[in-house]
Structure 1
Amino acid sequence: MALKFREAEYKDVEALVNMLFDDPLGTLREDSSKPLNSAYLTAFEAILKDNNNELIIVENNDNIMGMLQLTFIPYLTHTGSWRCLIEGVRVQSDCRGKGLGTQFFEWAIERAKQRGCNMVQLTSNKARVDALRFYQNLGFEASHEGFKLML
């Protein structure tokens, strides 16, 4: 399968929102109404304008198969290093279990290295048992306890 990794464009936003919604947790927190909720476009514009954020899609023959967001963060810790935060990971349900996610993460980790990062980190909802197992199989360690405060 010839995969293509690229930054998302305006024309992709509706398909990406649909992918976010097509998920047990996503149906509880995303808005699938049409026309597209303008908050998604506002967020997309902010991502585009920020040199430390990249919304990446993976596609085959112009069919979007997955997405993730990379955020590059400078830190004073670890001797003033950069790290890459991977969030918003989704793979189309009919594309799972075929090695696509592994290839996507290999690409993302290489991108983090290109940006000078010495660490890649992510969070995942504890209810996503398959995703947690996938990340551990890639070598990620559950080394920290995460906390969120919804505002």
Structure 2
Amino acid sequence: MAFLFKIIDKKDIDLVVPLIQKSNDHKIPEAVLKQRFAEMVNQNYECAGIFDGETLIGVSGLWFCTRHYSGKSVEPDHVFIEEDYRGKGLGKQLFEWIYNYVKLKGCESIELNTYVSNYPSHKFYHNEGFKILGYHFFKKL
């Protein structure tokens, strides 16, 4: 089975909303997600997609920035693959695609956050060579 990995065009960003809703148990309303993604695509954000034919089955946001301690970097965000496609090596393929893509854009490093309770992701990222460097704090205003 051949899958297509590509950056989702800004005009098609609403395609990601159903997957993002699944990834957060529909806690954020669709209209709010659409509005936020419409803003995000006009910032330093891109979204990589995994397609099975015409069907979007996986996503990873990519936030680009330059940090004093790591140089030009990318932060994968809201990584999600449809449940029926998990366990088939697609996560590893997606990250290989991301590594190659962001190197072409001049990135020197990758850093990311994952929820404390998302144990499968911890194992995945450790296996990908990521190291835990700190804590992510959040405060709702």
Output the TM-score relative to the length of structure 2: 0.87
Equivalent position amino acid for 1:70 in 2: L
**Alpha-carbon distance change, 82 to 67 in structure 1, aligned in 2, over 3 angstroms:** same
Count residues with an aligned counterpart: 140
Alignment check: 8 A CA contact 1:20 1:30 kept:
no
Q: Does 136-145 or 123-132 show the bigger shift?
A: 136-145
Which of 107, 116, 141 aligns to 2:131? It is 141
1:74 alignment partner in structure 2: 66
1:115 alignment partner in structure 2: 105
1:21 alignment partner in structure 2: 21
2:28 alignment partner in structure 1: 30
Which of 98, 104, 119 aligns to 2:94? It is 104
**Which structure is higher in RCO with an 8 Å CA cutoff and minimum separation 6?**
2
Output the TM-score relative to the length of structure 1: 0.82
Which runs of structure 1 show a deviation greater than 3 angstroms over 4 or more consecutive aligned residues?
A: 9-12
Report the secondary structure of 1:27's partner residue.
coil
Equivalent position amino acid for 1:19 in 2: L
Provide structure 2 residue ranges, at least 5 long, that are not aligned to the other structure: none
Provide structure 1 residue ranges, at least 5 long, that are not aligned to the other structure: none
Q: CA deviation at 1:11?
A: 4.6
Aligned sequence identity (%): 24
The whole-number CA distance in structure 1 between the counterparts of 2:90 and 2:112 is: 18
The whole-number CA distance in structure 2 between the counterparts of 1:132 and 1:122 is: 11
Equivalent position amino acid for 1:42 in 2: Q
Alignment check: 8 A CA contact 1:86 1:122 kept:
yes
Alignment check: 8 A CA contact 1:47 1:55 kept:
no
